[in-house]
Amino acid sequence: MKHVIVTQDLPADVLQATAARFQVSQISLKALGPEAFLKQIGEPDALIVSPGDPVNAALIAELPESVRVISSYSVGLDHVDLAAAEARGITVTNTPDVLTDATADVALLLILGALRGAAEAFRMISEDRWTGWQPAQVFGRDVTGKRLGIYGAGRIGLATVKRAQAFGMPVHYWSGRSRSADFDAIGAEPVSDMDAFLSRCDVLSLHCPSTPTTRGLVNAALIEKLPPRAVLINTGRGDLVVDGDVIAALKSCRLGAVGLDVFNGEPDIDPRYRTLSNAFVLPHIGSATEETRLAMGKVLLANLHDALSGT
Ligand code: DGY
């Protein structure tokens, strides 16, 4: 039986299915740190890692020769140094597709919540400040008719477009110079000039991976190019935005609201997001449904099986 290290608590069903096919050891990279982790893992065939695990070049360089595969329980692979893995001949796998709908649902939840003032409305109840229906109270803004700009024309962006269109949002998208036939086919408008793209974003939704070129994308200069009181949505990765700039814009109402599911340095998020009335924030639940996390487990195991069967 191949030996697999699992670095984070997987859902019970996924762990059980993994243990039925592999010899499993649960060893936390985050809790132990790289040195102690490397001392404890022995000579496994594969690692199952998750977002937040620092699988960086230094760790990969020290992995035992036996490690042939790093399988991530996620679509995003920004926590794994892919170049370092390739240099060592280690296969890296992820779990795309099966989490597209769940994550797009959360993008819609954030759009609705941010535009409708859900953070403040929720606090009014939870802090027992509600005095009853009033003509002028917790004013949100209509979703219908707001122009949605999708940054990054991938699968989750596409699924978000379909949902947003059902809510009456006209959609445009930016994906560099290339166009997406899938986006075009459902009537999302390509806008290749970045300034023109931004100037039409009543709502800007980020659907790109975290890479050296996209990190810090949403900064003060970009925010200035958005319409007044634009709404920022992020289900991608926290480091796509510069928190200080976003928070300053929320305070001055240059940004009308944000809906965020991902954060720089999560779970240690900038505490100001917790109290701003125009920040609707969730704890990285994009793919967190029973069905989706189970489906991710199946893809993970198929990936592992395929990658290890030739070794
Ligand atoms: C992913 O798969 O990359 C998600 O962020 C985890 O929910």
For residue range 110-168, what is the model confidence (pLDDT) as tens digits? 999 999 999 999 999 999 999 999 999 999 999 999 999 999 999 999 999 999 999 99
pLDDT at residue number 108: 98
CATH class of the 3-98+290-309 domain in this structure:
alpha beta
Q: Rounded distance, CA 282 to CA 294, Å?
A: 21
- For 82, phi then psi, to 5°, come to -65, -35
The answer to whether 63 touches 87, Cβ cutoff 8 Å, is no
Nearest of 203, 307, 218 to residue 262 by alpha carbon: 218
Provide mean pLDDT across the span 86-90.
98
**Probe residue for ligand 1, chosen from 75, 78, 240 as the CB with the greatest number of ligand atoms within 8 Å:** 75
Residues of the chain with CATH 3.40.50.720: 3-98+290-309, 100-281
Distance 217 CA to ligand 1 centre (A): 19
pLDDT at residue number 177: 82
Residues 172, 178, 183, 184, CA torsion sign: positive
Nearest of 129, 146, 147, 126 to residue 137 by alpha carbon: 129
Instruction: Specify the residue for token string 């042939």.
Output: 68
pLDDT at residue number 311: 62
Q: Which residues contact 20 (CB under 8 A, 6 or more apart)?
A: none
Alpha carbons within 13 angstroms on the beta-carbon side of residue 292 total 20
- Identify whether 237 is a catalytic site residue: yes
The answer to whether 102 touches 287, Cβ cutoff 8 Å, is yes
Ligand 1 atom 4: residue of nearest CA: 74
Distance 130 CA to ligand 1 centre (A): 36
Query: Is residue 286 scored above 70 in pLDDT?
Result: yes
Q: What is the CA radius of gyration of the chain?
A: 21
Tokens at 10, concatenated: 């997987």
The answer to whether 121 touches 138, Cβ cutoff 8 Å, is yes
SS3 175: strand
* pTM for the model: 0.96
Tally of CB atoms within 10 A around 214: 18
Of 45-49, 62-66, 132-136, 297-301, the one with minimum mean pLDDT is 132-136
Instruction: Specify the residue for token string 């122009």.
Output: 147
Q: Does domain 100-281 have CATH number 3.40.50.720?
A: yes
The answer to whether 171 touches 219, Cβ cutoff 8 Å, is no
pLDDT at residue number 23: 98
Provide mean pLDDT across the span 274-282.
97
Burial of residue 61, with CB atoms counted within 10 A of its CB: 0-12 exposed, 13-18 middle, 19 or more buried: exposed
In the chain, the N- to C-terminal Cα span, in Å, equals 12
What digits encode the pLDDT tens for the residues 199-233?
Answer: 999 999 999 999 999 999 999 999 999 999 999 99
Mean pLDDT of the chain: 97
Ligand 1 atom 6: residue of nearest CA: 74
User: Cα 216–220–223 angle (5° rounding)?
Assistant: 95
Query: Is residue 55 scored above 90 in pLDDT?
Result: yes
**Probe residue for ligand 1, chosen from 50, 94, 99, 296 as the CB with the greatest number of ligand atoms within 8 Å:** 99
What residues line ligand 1, using a CB cutoff of 6 Å? Answer: 51, 74-76, 99, 286-287
DSSP, res 66? T
pLDDT at residue number 176: 85
Nearest of 207, 244, 253, 251 to residue 226 by alpha carbon: 253
For residue 212, CA distances in Å to 154, 216, 239 come to: 18, 9, 10
